[in-house]
């Protein structure tokens, strides 16, 4: 054990001082800062809602919605203009308000994560205009005067408490964080893939003299397993140091982390060990040194595309969804979501 811990200490000291480790650490931290700074801020995410009104009642509903303080409702001249704005991402979603059935038609894409709540706001505004008229007509038909019915409902509108929407969240994630956190899976998928790629590149850039010395030490020391394990563990600890520094950097730049701290630490620990093993395998194998540079671009493509952060891998055609099992980022995101 004394041999193992002595070698571990020396390997950590030598690894931290090596130019390869310092270069890869600086590159990865810079990449983390750039990607996190490029994330769209939740305050700048489009929560604008388009409205197309046809008819007097729709105009009154639109006027009521335009007074909403939580979302910015914008009038559009027609359905085509509203559809183009929704598809282009200028609008979070849109609504066609008219006199025909159905009176409300929603325009949205799958990314409109706030639509259920906005639906409640739009429907509440519509029924607030619709129900007094319908009730007044029914009362008039039963012998009440039209003027008396409208006066009574106007008085009730002023006295009654306004309709409120009680929103219950699940998973401990507030809705005002979804705009930013919905993009963070792509950030983590890119960082996981990039760190493994950098680890592979570090294995290619490893000092050949040091690798030969390690192999000779494993032979002459009589402790081959301890020698290899000490080298791998030292690299894993150094990798974990860089990953934790990256997570601290992300925590300083992101207002609303999408995943809890314990889940991120567990994922980073597994990533540190996996990357250390990859570095050791590549640095000690001459054949892998020859093919790894050609495999890095498709590795990054598969890892990010099949991670599930961009599109569900199961939806990819021609059985390409099976490539998710070759994507380290897919495993990382699943671990983060499970924990």
DSSP string, 90-119: SSSEEEEE-SSSSSEEEE--TT-TTHHHHH
Given this model, what pLDDT does residue 169 score? 45
Give CA–CA dist 214/225, Å, rounded: 12
Given this model, what pLDDT does residue 86 score? 86
Both structure tokens of 57? 């009642």
Q: Which of 125, 144, 176 is the last residue of a domain?
A: 176
The CATH number of residue 135's host domain is 3.40.190
Q: Given its phi and psi angles, is residue 234 left (phi above 0), alpha (psi -120 to 50 degrees) or beta? A: alpha
Please check whether residues 112 and 210 belong to one and the same domain.
no
Strand partners, 50: 74, 94
* 214: CB partners within 8 A, 6+ apart: 227, 228, 231
Are β-strands 104-107 and 48-53 bridged in parallel, bridged antiparallel, or unpaired?
unpaired
Nearest to 71 by CA among 93, 88, 53, 56: 93
Please check whether residues 125 and 242 belong to one and the same domain.
no
Give CA–CA dist 67/90, Å, rounded: 20
Please check whether residues 230 and 253 belong to one and the same domain.
yes
Q: Which of 129, 158, 176 is the last residue of a domain?
A: 176
Please check whether residues 121 and 29 belong to one and the same domain.
no
Q: Could you tell me where the DSSP H helices lie in the chain?
A: 2-17, 19-38, 56-65, 79-87, 115-141, 146-159, 178-181, 184-204, 208-220, 224-253, 261-284, 286-305, 328-338
Cis peptide before 102 (omega within 30 of 0): yes
Given this model, what pLDDT does residue 184 score? 79
Given this model, what pLDDT does residue 129 score? 78
Please check whether residues 197 and 326 belong to one and the same domain.
yes
CA atoms within a 13 Å half-sphere pointing along the CA-CB vector of 147: 0
Long-range contacts of 98-107 (CB under 8 A, 24+ apart): 98/53, 98/54, 98/55, 98/58, 99/54, 99/55, 99/57, 99/58, 103/58, 103/130, 107/50, 107/79, 107/82, 107/83
pTM over cut 0.85: no
Nearest to 249 by CA among 100, 95, 35: 35
Given this model, what pLDDT does residue 211 score? 59
- Low-confidence residues in the chain, pLDDT < 70: 39-46, 70, 111, 133-154, 156-182, 205-224, 255-256, 284-286, 288
Domains identified in the chain, total number: 2
Domain that holds residue 68: 43-176
């Amino acid at each position: 054990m004394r041999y193992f811990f002595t070698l571990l200490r020396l390997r950590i000291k030598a690894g931290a001082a090596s130019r390869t480790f310092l270069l890869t650490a600086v590159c990865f931290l810079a990449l983390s800062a750039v990607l996190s700074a490029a994330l769209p801020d939740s305050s700048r995410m489009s929560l604008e809602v388009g409205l197309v009104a046809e008819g007097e009642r729709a105009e009154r509903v639109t006027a009521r919605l335009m007074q909403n303080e939580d979302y910015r409702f914008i009038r559009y001249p027609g359905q085509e203009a509203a559809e183009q704005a929704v598809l282009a991402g200028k609008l979070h979603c849109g609504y066609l308000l008219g006199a025909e059935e159905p009176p409300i038609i929603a325009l949205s894409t799958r990314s409109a994560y706030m639509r259920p709540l906005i639906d409640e706001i739009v429907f509440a505004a519509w029924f607030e205009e619709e129900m007094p008229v319908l009730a007044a007509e029914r009362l008039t038909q039963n012998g009440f005067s039209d003027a008396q019915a409208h006066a009574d409902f106007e008085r009730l509108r002023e006295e009654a408490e306004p309709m409120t929407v009680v929103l219950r969240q699940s998973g401990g994630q507030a809705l005002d964080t979804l705009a930013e956190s919905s993009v963070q899976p792509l950030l983590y998928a890119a960082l996981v893939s990039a760190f493994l790629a950098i680890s592979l590149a570090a294995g290619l850039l490893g000092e050949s003299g040091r690798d030969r010395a390690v192999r000779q030490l494993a032979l002459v020391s009589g402790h081959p397993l301890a020698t290899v394990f000490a080298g791998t563990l030292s690299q894993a600890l150094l990798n974990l140091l860089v990953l934790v520094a990256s997570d601290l950097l992300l925590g300083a730049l992101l207002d609303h982390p999408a995943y809890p701290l314990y889940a991120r630490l567990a994922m980073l620990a597994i990533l540190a060990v996996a990357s250390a093993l990859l570095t050791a395998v590549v640095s000690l194998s001459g054949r892998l040194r020859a093919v790894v540079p050609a495999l890095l671009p498709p590795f990054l493509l598969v890892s990010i595309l099949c991670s599930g952060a961009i599109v569900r891998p199961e939806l990819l055609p021609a059985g390409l969804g099976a490539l998710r099992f070759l994507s380290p980022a897919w495993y990382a995101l699943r671990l983060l979501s499970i924990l």
